[in-house]
Structure formats: structure tokens, C-alpha cells
């Protein structure tokens, strides 16, 4: 049986996986999404202390 990492690698090499990566990169470049991510991380970090 294929390990989880093997299955992830196979997916990332597939056309659908490459499409997902490109979509994530596009979303990461959006300033609004960057702000949301920073806000979430700040909240997460402040809870841990």
C-alpha cells in the first residue's frame, strides 16, 4: 500500500494537482488573503502564550 506521502506526491504531479497549486499561488498573492492569513496567525500565536 502506498504511503500517504507517495499519494500526495502522485497527486501533486497530476494535472489536477498542478491546477490546485496554481490556484493556491494566485490566492496567496491577493492582499486581502494575506491580511486574513496574518490576522489568523496573530490570533493563533497570542493564544498559545
Q: What is the per-residue pLDDT across 17-32, written as a single tens digit (0 to 9) for each?
A: 999 999 999 999 999 9
Query: 42 exposed, middle or buried (CB, 10 Å; 0-12, 13-18, 19+)?
Result: exposed
Q: How many domains does the chain have?
A: 1
| Rounded-to-integer distance, Cα 32 and Cα 35, Å | 5
What value does the mean pLDDT take over residues 25-47? 94
Q: CA dist 22 to 17, 25, 32, Å?
A: 9, 5, 18
Confidence of residue 14 (pLDDT cuts 50, 70, 90): very high
Confidence of residue 16 (pLDDT cuts 50, 70, 90): very high
**pLDDT for residue 49:** 58
Average pLDDT score over the chain: 93
Helix 15-29 to helix 31-48 angle (10° resolution) is: 80
**pLDDT for residue 34:** 96
Q: Residue 13: which domain range?
A: 4-48
**pLDDT for residue 2:** 81
Amino acid at each position: 500500500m502506498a504511503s500517504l506521502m507517495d499519494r500526495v506526491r502522485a497527486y501533486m504531479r497530476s494535472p489536477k494537482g498542478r491546477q490546485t497549486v496554481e490556484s493556491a499561488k494566485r490566492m496567496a498573492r491577493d492582499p486581502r488573503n494575506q491580511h486574513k492569513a496574518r490576522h489568523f496567525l496573530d490570533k493563533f500565536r497570542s493564544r498559545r502564550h
